[in-house]
Amino acid sequence: MILFFLTSGLFLGWSLGANDASNVFGSAVGSKMVTFRRAAIIASIAVILGAVIQGSGASQTLGKLGAINAIGGSFTLALAAAITVYVMTKFSLPVSTTQAIVGAIIGWNIFTGNSTDSNTLSKIVTTWISGPILGALFAVLLYILIIRIKRTTKMHLITFESYIRAGLIVVGAFGAYSLGANNIANVMGVFVPALNLEPLDLGLFSLSSSQQLFLFGGFAIAAGIITYSKKVMETIGGNIVELSSEGAMVVVLAQSLVLFMFSSSGFSNLLIKIGLPPIPMVPVSSSQVIVGCVMGIGLYKGARNINFKLLGEIAIGWIATPVLSGLLAYFSLFFVKNIFSIDVGHKINVISQTTDIVAVTAGENVSGIVKYLLFGIIIAGALMIIYYLLLERKKNMDLRQSEEKFWKNIK
Amino acid sequence: MAVFTRTTKNLIIDIDQFLDNVELGLLVFREGIKSYLDKDMEAFVRHLQKVEILEGNADKLQRSIENSMITHSILPQHREEVVKLMDELDEIIDSVKSSLNEIYTEMPEIPSSLNKDLISLAETSANAAEELIPAARAYFKAPYTVREKLLKVYYFESETDKISLNIKKHIFQDMKEIDLAHKAHLRYIIHHIESISDLAQKAADLLSGMAIKIVM
């Protein structure tokens, strides 16, 4: 049953992988600089690593907004957010998983009679606006830097492009890592307070309950990338490639930096140490940050045709998505609680807030299933990578043979 | 990564060699025309053979460049234009070869009074194409300097037109001693020499657009 409850989060993760992977590898794949298979493998591994290693920061902030204290509630919220994302995407409206999940959590707070922490909420909403602005700023600075380097070194265009190609892979991997670290909170954040899995000892290291959840979420995002992101990358990626290749790389790097900043506790601590205000660890929308980055470069290059319609749609999305998701979550919770008699959560005692959360503790058999499931997925992933490498090798051999044959015939 | 770097280096070398071949072809063309006008047929044949080798090399290099760019997906955004530019440059060396071949096959009788003008025509026409080569090289290393380099191509092309027009006028209006068939034949040869600068202008137009696109 516990595993069933996780499915809505996994579905949300899948849709995130399918849509948002294009933000990190879309430009590289859309311009055919990197093959989709290679991009999918790199992005999948990086997204899982980001989720497991650095996913807790943004997730804790969502926990502060609303500590979902029943797994039925977590299931319903993730489902409501996923449906909102699906419906809005269907109607071609700009949508962010982050905003959907925040709306759903507020819906849960209202339903269960919990108050919403306005401080945390304002922190989150501020980053929705500051994220794209920071992205634009980073993009302009990086763009100036890269153009200066290009001009002063007078590098051959083909050499420069080869560096850009390598850069797109490295930056794409960093982007996928940051996406996993920052956006895993949207996928699994609502399950963290509600579900307590036994620590999983993997020999070299062990995974805590939240890390196991993030690992599952990471797998779901990876599945979304592998199964459904190709089309999105090839179409949406093409729009980004209208920039030059160095512009595309800068956009991905700037977006990755923003996502990384909003999910790195180390960076936040560093700012505190040097006397600056800390960066809140909040999930931000990668799609909206990337729009900010592209517009930043556009403004720097003196483009006058800024797409105000797109900006307006994003601003509407900031309000419409959480409202829709919140309403859907509220009615879904009502439905699940009263029709299926499933516990969706209750009011948290403000005085003893932390002790009042009753997380479902999974039994040993569930932990055993989780363990085998994880091993199974890891082995399947490894086999897929080996298969891919063999396929690439065969392709290269065929290509070499055909080249040799061609030149032999020419002679 | 090593394979990737090797491909990139080889491609850069191929492009440079291709441009060297076109440049050398233009030099040999000038010498070929001069030796024909000097009635030094031995030197002319030597130059013709040299041009044929250079044109063959350029063809091979062009195919190799195109092949590498497509199979290794190099410069995906600019590939089509770079391939087209190589094509235009190849047409120049093709035209050089065919001009010398036409002269060799048809052996036009050129009145000695036209020698100086024809040398000047061949020089200017070849200059237009020659000035294209540094601009094409600059496209890969300093694209923002391409357009200023191309100015010389346009200048020499218009000079070629003027010289060609003057020679044609001179042939058809002043040279009463040669018959119409001879005049038409000379016009045909002039047209051939002139076409090199026209092709250079066509390539310059393409290169100019490419440079704007890459700098923007």
CA nearest to B74, candidates A372, A34, A130: A34
Task: Judge whether B18 is closer than 8 Å to chain A, CB to CB.
Answer: no
Work out the minimum CA distance from B195 to partner chain A, whole angstroms: 29
Q: Which residues of A147-174 are buried (b: 16+ CB within 10 A; e: fewer)?
A: beebeeeebbbbbbbbbbbbbbbebbbb
What is the arithmetic mean of pLDDT over A202-206?
75
Task: Judge whether A408 is closer than 8 Å to chain B, CB to CB.
Answer: no
Report d(CA A240, CA A172) in Å as an integer: 14
**DSSP β-bridge partners for residue A201:** A206
pLDDT given at position A359: 54
Question: Who among A33, A301, A410 is closest to B76 (CB)?
Answer: A33
CA nearest to A264, candidates A188, A182, A207: A182
pLDDT given at position B2: 46
Q: What is the pLDDT of residues A256-298, one digit of tens each?
A: 899 888 887 777 788 888 887 777 788 888 878 888 888 888 8
Taking a contact as any Cβ pair under 8 Å apart, which residues of chain B between 44 and 103 contact chain A? 60, 63, 67, 71, 73-78
> Has residue A410 got a pLDDT over 70?
no
Confidence class for position A240, pLDDT limits 50, 70, 90: very low
Please indicate whether, in this complex, the C-beta atoms of A158 and B140 are within 8 angstroms of each other. yes
What is the arithmetic mean of pLDDT over A313-330?
84
pLDDT given at position A302: 74
For A164, nearest residue in chain B (alpha carbons): B75
CB contact set of A71 (below 8 Å; sequence gap of 6+): A2, A5, A191, A194, A195, A360
Confidence class for position A1, pLDDT limits 50, 70, 90: low
Question: Who among A154, A158, A241 is closest to B12 (CB)?
Answer: A158
The two beta strands, A200-201 and A206-207, are antiparallel
What is the arithmetic mean of pLDDT over B54-63?
92
| Ranges A192-196, B37-41, B114-118: which has the least confidence | A192-196
Task: Judge whether A156 is closer than 8 Å to chain B, CB to CB.
Answer: yes
For B143, nearest residue in chain A (alpha carbons): A157
B97 vs A362, B28, B54, B92, CA distance in Å? 83, 10, 9, 9
- Partners of A151 on chain B (C-beta within 8 Å) are 142, 144
Domain of B129 in residue numbering reads as: 2-215
> Has residue A235 got a pLDDT over 70?
no
Retrieve residue B129's tokens. Answer: 């194409």
More confident residue, B42 or A95: B42
- Partners of B141 on chain A (C-beta within 8 Å) are 154-157
Q: What is the pLDDT of residues B202-214, one digit of tens each?
A: 999 999 999 988 8
Please indicate whether, in this complex, the C-beta atoms of B77 and A241 are within 8 angstroms of each other. yes
Q: What percent of chain A has pLDDT over 90?
A: 8
For A399, nearest residue in chain B (alpha carbons): B71
CATH number at residue B191: 1.20.58.220
Confidence class for position A388, pLDDT limits 50, 70, 90: confident
CA A195 to chain centre: 21
Report d(CA A185, CA A179) in Å as an integer: 10
Confidence class for position A364, pLDDT limits 50, 70, 90: low
Helix/strand/coil for B177 = coil
CA nearest to B83, candidates B101, B104, B69, B94: B69
Please indicate whether, in this complex, the C-beta atoms of A31 and B11 are within 8 angstroms of each other. no
Please indicate whether, in this complex, the C-beta atoms of B78 and A155 are within 8 angstroms of each other. no
pLDDT given at position A356: 47
Task: Judge whether B12 is closer than 8 Å to chain A, CB to CB.
Answer: yes
For B137, nearest residue in chain A (alpha carbons): A156
Helix (H) or strand (E) holding A374: helix A364-410
Task: Judge whether A273 is closer than 8 Å to chain B, CB to CB.
Answer: no
Task: Judge whether B212 is closer than 8 Å to chain A, CB to CB.
Answer: no
More confident residue, A196 or A221: A221
Contact B203, B95 (CB under 8 A): no
**Number of domains observed in the structure of chain B:** 1
A204 vs A53, A55, A379, CA distance in Å? 15, 20, 17
Q: Domain boundaries in chain A?
A: 2-357, 363-411
Helix/strand/coil for A195 = strand
Q: What is the pLDDT of residues A70-102, one digit of tens each?
A: 778 888 888 898 888 888 777 766 678 888 888
Contact B101, B49 (CB under 8 A): no
pLDDT given at position A239: 55
Q: What is the pLDDT of residues A127-156, one digit of tens each?
A: 888 888 999 999 999 999 998 888 888 888
Report d(CA A48, CA A28) in Å as an integer: 20
> Has residue A186 got a pLDDT over 70?
yes
| Ranges A304-318, B26-40, B91-105: which has the least confidence | A304-318
Contact B153, B132 (CB under 8 A): yes
Report d(CA A167, CA A249) in Å as an integer: 7
Confidence class for position A403, pLDDT limits 50, 70, 90: confident
Contact B45, A195 (CB under 8 A): no
Retrieve residue B216's tokens. Answer: 């923007």
Side chain identity at residue A292, one-letter code: G
